[in-house]
Structure 1
Amino acid sequence: MKARQIITHLAVLLLLVTPQARAAAPADGDNLATLAYLCPALQLADGDITLHPEQSNLDGGLQDLLALNMSLADIAWAAQFKASPHGATPVGATEQQQKPDPGTPEQIAAWKIAKATVDNSANFKNVLAKYGYTPENASQLMPLKGVIAQYAEAAFDIQEAEKTKVPTGHTDDQLKTLIKTAVYGHNGGYDVSKKAELGFPDSENREAACTAQSNSNPVKTIAGMVACLCTVKDNMAPAKAPCGPYGGEDFKWGTTTPPGNALWKKMRFSCPEEPKKPVTAMRIQNALTAAKLAFQAGGSDLYVGKYDGTGCDGSTNTACIKYTGQATNSVPIFTKAEWLDKLQTVQSELQQRLLAEQSKSQVIRQIETLKQLVKAATKHAEKLTPPTTQHQSDPKLATANDKNSQAQKTADCSKLEKAECKPDVGCKYNETTKKCEEDPKSHVVQANKEATGGATNSEGKK
C-alpha cells in the first residue's frame, strides 16, 4: 500500500473513532477533492473514444515487392495464382487438385494478390514506377530475378513471423463499449432513464441509493459515484453544491431517481469534458490509480467522499457514499466496483497492443530495409543486361490485353532493322522479303503462347 493511501486510511479511521464526531450538513466544495480523484476516469468516456495506439497493417508495405517478384517469376509457376473469371472452372482444375499446394495458405493468398497486381497494367505500372522502371524497360530486371526473389522471401517470412505475435482480444468497438459501460453502465452517455445500469435499480431517495440500501450499488459505475457525491438530498434547503460551482442550489438528487440529464451537464463544471483526448494504457492506469484513492474505509465499512463520522444522507449529514461490509480491517474491498475490472481489461489490452506495435515498427523497418536494398540493386540492372539497340517498341513486360504480365523480352519485329532482328526478342530476318518477321520457334514467342493459351503475334496478341 502506498504511503498516501496509508495516511488517508489512518485519517479516516481517526475520524471514525474520535468521540467529537458529529453530524455536519453538506457544504459547497465538500467533495471537490474526491471528484478530482474520479475525474480522470470519468473523462475516459467523453465523446467518440479514440484508442491509441491504432493497430497498423503489416501487409500493405510488402505488396509492391511481392508484385515485382511475381513479374519475374517463371510463367508456368505464376500461372497457378491467376484469378479465374467469375463462375469459370480454372484450366487444369482436376489436375491441380492432384498436385500439392504450391505454398502455405498465407503464401498462396499473398501470391494471388501479387499476381492480380501484375495482371493489371495500371497497378503494375505504379509498382514499377516506385523502382524507377516502366513496362517498356522492365525486362532489364531479369538478371536480378534471383536476388529480388531472396529479398521478397526474407521480407515475407519476417512479416508472417510477426503476425503470429499479434495479441488476441477485444475489438476496438468492444473496448470502447467496456469504457462507456464502466463509466455510465451502458454503451452511451449519462442517462437517468438507465438508472439501473448506473447502479440504482429501485426508486429511492439519495440516502437509500448512496448508502447501498435495497438493491442499489453506489460504486458500480464512475458516473453513479459522481452523482452521489455531487448532489444533496432533494429536501435540503437551501441546497449546496458539494462539487461546485459554489452557490449552486439545484444540485439535488431526485425524489426517487438520480439527478436528471440536464443537471448532470451542470455537474461536469468541476470535471470538464475532454472528448478529443486519445485513450492510452498509461492514461487508464493513471485514472485507475487516482480513482482508487477516492475510496476510504473504517472497520468493515467503505466510504467515498467527505464523511462526518455519523452518516451520508446528504442533508443533515455530508454527501458521501457508504457501503457496509465492503472493507476488511479498514481496507477497502473493490468487489462491487464493477468499473474497475472493465477498465483494467482495456488497460491490459492497450498495453499489449503498445508492445505489439513497437514490435511491428521494428519489423516494418526491417522490411523497408530489404525494399531499399532491392531499389539499390535495380538502379544498376541495365549494366547486367546485354546492350541492344532499342526502337520505339522496347521489350514489353505486359501484353496489350493484359493477359500475360510476366517479364518477357518481346518486340514489334516489323519495326526492327536487320541488325536488331534476333531470336532473343522473338524475331528472325527473312532474306527473301528483306523484312524482320516474328520467329514462331523463338523461346520468347513460345513462352507468350503458353501464357496466353494460344498463338501470339509480335505484340503478344492472339
Structure 2
Amino acid sequence: MIKQIMISNILVLLVATKGDAAVAACDNAATAGVLCELLALGGVRSLLTQPKPGYDTAHHEILDLNMSLAGESWRSVFEDPKNKGTYPETKPEKFTANKDWDKRWKEWAQTAARLKDNNGIQNNLKEHKLHPRSVQHLSIAKQAILQLANEQSALATQLQRIKADNKILNNERLREKINTALYGENPALEATLTQGAAFEGAAAASRAGNCDGTAKDNKAKTVMAALVCICAKDNSNPLDKVCATHQALSSTWTPNAYPANSVMQEIRKLCPKSKPALLTASRLRQLISAVKSHLTGGSAGITLGKLDTGSDCSGSDNSGLCVKYTDIHDGGSATADDINWIAALNQIADDISSHEEAVATVDRIAEQLADNNAKAKDFIANLEQYTQAQAAVSTAANPKAAQAQENDQKAKNDCGIHSSNQTCTAHKTCKWEGKNETDGKCEVDETKVTRKSNSARIGETANTEGKKCSEKKTEGNCKDGCKWENNACKDSSFLVHKKLALSMATFFGFAFF
C-alpha cells in the first residue's frame, strides 16, 4: 500500500514538473517537420521536367531541303559578295524594296549557311533520294516541301517566342530561386551558410526583435530563419529539445546577433536527408499549405511555433519559441500568403507552373515538327505514285500546273535579287517598277513568263479515255476500262487515280487539288 502511494506521488510530481514549463520538449516537432520538408527542396535536390532535346533545331531538316530544291542560285542570294562564305542575318540595303523578305531573311541566311560546305545542296538532295528524280517529280516535290517549310517556319517562330518569354527554367535557375527562399542566398554548399543571410537587415537586440514583426517586414525572412526561431536553444534558456526529443541542441543562439553557421547546421541536421526529385508546382503548393496549417491565430497576430503565456517569441520556456506576425489577425489586412518567405515560395510555384505550361507547349510543337519531317519522308518515298495520281485528275480538278507554279516562283526569285533598273531589265522576264534607276523594285513581267506543263497532254489522254466511257449509256456496255458509277459510265483508271490522289492529299495535308 505504501509502495503504491509512493509511485502515485512520483507520477503526480512528474506531471506537475512538466506542466510548470509553458514550452516543453517536442512542442515544435511537427512544425519543424513541415519546414524540414521545404528544406529538402534545397541544394541541388529539386529538378524540373525539361523539353525534349533537339526541339529548337527540328525544323532545319525541311528548311534545308526546301532551299536545296530551290537551287544554288537562290542560296547564293544570301552570301555576302564581298566576304565569301559569310551569310549576313540582316537583309542588305539593295533588297530594301522586297518587304516580304524582312521576316524570313534571318532564317533563310541561316539555312544558306548550313548548306554552304561540301556541296551542301547536292548532298542534301542525295540524302533525301531526290537527286535522280525527273523534272516533273522535283516540281511536285518543291510544292509539297515549300508548304511544309512554311509550316515549320511558323512553328519555329512560336518556339522562339516561348524562349523569348524566358518562362522555361533550367535546374540552375530553379536552384537559385529555391535556395534564396530557404536560406537568403544560393550557397555552393548547404553546410556553409552565411551568418545573417537568412534574416533581413541588421540584427535586433533581442530574439523577439528578430522573430516578431509584420508579414512583409519580419526579420525572419526565410525558411531557415523560421526554423531558428522555433528551434534554436537560447543562451538564456535551457530548452534544447523543443523540435526533436532524439537530439539535444548544444549550440546556443545569443539573439543580439544573428545565429552562427554552427547553430543553423545543428538545426538543419534535425531534418532527414533527401534525394534529388522532380518538383512540380502542385507539390510545392501542397508543402506551402502544410506549413500554413501550423499557423495559429490570436487577437495580436498569428504565430508559427509555440507561444504560450508570453506575448512575444522571446525564446524562453515561459513565453515562446516561435515566429510571430503581428498584422495577421481579424482586424488586419495581411494574410498568411503575405508572409515574406511564403510569398517567395508562392512566386516560385507560379514560376514552375508557367514553366510546365511552356514545356508542354514546346513538346507539342516539337511533335508537330517531327510529324512534318516524317510526312516529308513519306511523301518523297511515294513521290512517283503521287505524281501519277495528281496527273490523272489534273484536268478534272483544274489546278495550276506544277511547272507553271515552278516558273512563277523561279521568276519571282530571279527578279527579286536585282536592285537596279539596268540589271533588272537585262533579265527577259523582269520589269522595273521605281522612281529612278535605283529606287524601286524588280518585279516579274507576267506577259513574258513562260508557263509550260505536260498536263495538257495528260489531260487530253484522260479526256479521250473518259469520252470513250461516257458514250456508253448502259451498265451492260460499261466495260473495257470503264466503270458504272452514279448511273454513268466512267473511266475506271481515272477514278482509281483520283481516289488515290485525294487520299494522299488528305494524308499529307497538301492542298494541290
TM-score interval for Structure 1 and Structure 2 normalised by the shorter chain: 0.5 to 0.7
Alpha-carbon offset, residue 243 of structure 1: 1.8
3-state DSSP of counterpart to 2:165: coil
Q: 1: CA distance between counterparts of 2:220 and 2:118?
A: 63
1:159 correspondence with 2:156: yes
Distance of aligned partners of 1:74 and 1:137 in 2 relative to their CA distance in 1, 3 Å threshold: closer
Of 352, 370, 373, which residue of structure 2 is paired with 1:371? 373
Percent of aligned positions that are identical? 22
AA aligned opposite 1:185 = G
Distance of aligned partners of 1:100 and 1:330 in 2 relative to their CA distance in 1, 3 Å threshold: closer
Q: 2: CA distance between counterparts of 1:365 and 1:37?
A: 40
| Structure-2 residue corresponding to 1:291 | 291
Q: CA contact under 8 A between 1:207 and 1:313: conserved in structure 2?
A: yes
1:355 correspondence with 2:354: no
Distance of aligned partners of 1:384 and 1:279 in 2 relative to their CA distance in 1, 3 Å threshold: closer
Alpha-carbon offset, residue 376 of structure 1: 0.9
Q: CA contact under 8 A between 2:235 and 2:253: conserved in structure 1?
A: yes
| Structure-2 residue corresponding to 1:227 | 228
Alpha-carbon offset, residue 122 of structure 1: 7.8
Distance of aligned partners of 1:54 and 1:88 in 2 relative to their CA distance in 1, 3 Å threshold: closer
Alpha-carbon offset, residue 170 of structure 1: 6.3
Q: CA contact under 8 A between 2:52 and 2:363: conserved in structure 1?
A: no
Q: 2: CA distance between counterparts of 1:58 and 1:27?
A: 57
Q: 2: CA distance between counterparts of 1:193 and 1:356?
A: 35
What are the residue-to-residue correspondences of 1:400-419 with 2, within 5 Å?
A: none
Give the stretch that moved more between structures: 172-181 or 367-376.
172-181
| Pairwise CA RMSD | 3.9
| Structure-2 residue corresponding to 1:187 | 186
Q: Which runs of 5+ in 1 are unaligned?
A: 1-21, 387-462
Of 100, 105, 113, which residue of structure 2 is paired with 1:116? 113
Q: CA contact under 8 A between 1:41 and 1:222: conserved in structure 2?
A: yes
| Structure-1 residue corresponding to 2:321 | 319
Q: CA contact under 8 A between 2:285 and 2:349: conserved in structure 1?
A: yes
3-state DSSP of counterpart to 2:182: helix
Distance of aligned partners of 1:367 and 1:89 in 2 relative to their CA distance in 1, 3 Å threshold: closer
Q: CA contact under 8 A between 1:300 and 1:324: conserved in structure 2?
A: yes
Q: CA contact under 8 A between 2:241 and 2:249: conserved in structure 1?
A: yes
Alpha-carbon offset, residue 180 of structure 1: 2.3
3-state DSSP of counterpart to 2:101: coil
What are the residue-to-residue correspondences of 1:9-408 with 2, within 5 Å?
A: 24-47=21-44, 50-54=47-51, 58-82=55-79, 86=83, 96-101=94-99, 103-105=101-103, 107-121=104-118, 131=128, 133=129, 137=132, 142-143=138-139, 144-161=141-158, 163-164=160-161, 168=165, 172=169, 176-188=175-187, 189=190, 193-195=194-196, 197-199=198-200, 201-202=202-203, 204-212=205-213, 217-237=218-238, 239-244=239-244, 246-254=246-254, 256-274=256-274, 276-311=276-311, 312-317=313-318, 318-329=320-331, 333-334=335-336, 337-381=339-383
Q: CA contact under 8 A between 1:184 and 1:190: conserved in structure 2?
A: no
Give the stretch that moved more between structures: 185-194 or 57-66.
185-194
Structure (1 or 2) with the greater helix fraction:
2
Alpha-carbon offset, residue 71 of structure 1: 0.4
3-state DSSP of counterpart to 1:59: helix
Distance of aligned partners of 1:96 and 1:276 in 2 relative to their CA distance in 1, 3 Å threshold: same
Alpha-carbon offset, residue 166 of structure 1: 6.1
Distance of aligned partners of 1:97 and 1:138 in 2 relative to their CA distance in 1, 3 Å threshold: same
Q: CA contact under 8 A between 1:23 and 1:310: conserved in structure 2?
A: no
Give the stretch that moved more between structures: 344-353 or 309-318.
309-318
AA aligned opposite 2:378 = A
Q: 2: CA distance between counterparts of 1:146 and 1:118?
A: 20
Distance of aligned partners of 1:138 and 1:300 in 2 relative to their CA distance in 1, 3 Å threshold: farther
Q: CA contact under 8 A between 1:251 and 1:263: conserved in structure 2?
A: yes
Of structures 1 and 2, the one with the larger relative CO (CA 8 A, separation 6+) is 1
Alpha-carbon offset, residue 307 of structure 1: 2.6
Q: 2: CA distance between counterparts of 1:120 and 1:148?
A: 22
Q: Which runs of 5+ in 2 are unaligned?
A: 1-18, 389-513
AA aligned opposite 1:301 = G
Q: 2: CA distance between counterparts of 1:366 and 1:197?
A: 46
Distance of aligned partners of 1:57 and 1:315 in 2 relative to their CA distance in 1, 3 Å threshold: same
Alignment: residue pair count? 359
Q: 2: CA distance between counterparts of 1:139 and 1:272?
A: 70
Q: 1: CA distance between counterparts of 2:159 and 2:85?
A: 36
Alpha-carbon offset, residue 87 of structure 1: 8.9
Q: CA contact under 8 A between 1:303 and 1:322: conserved in structure 2?
A: yes
Q: 1: CA distance between counterparts of 2:166 and 2:374?
A: 35
Distance of aligned partners of 1:357 and 1:336 in 2 relative to their CA distance in 1, 3 Å threshold: closer
Q: 2: CA distance between counterparts of 1:129 and 1:284?
A: 52
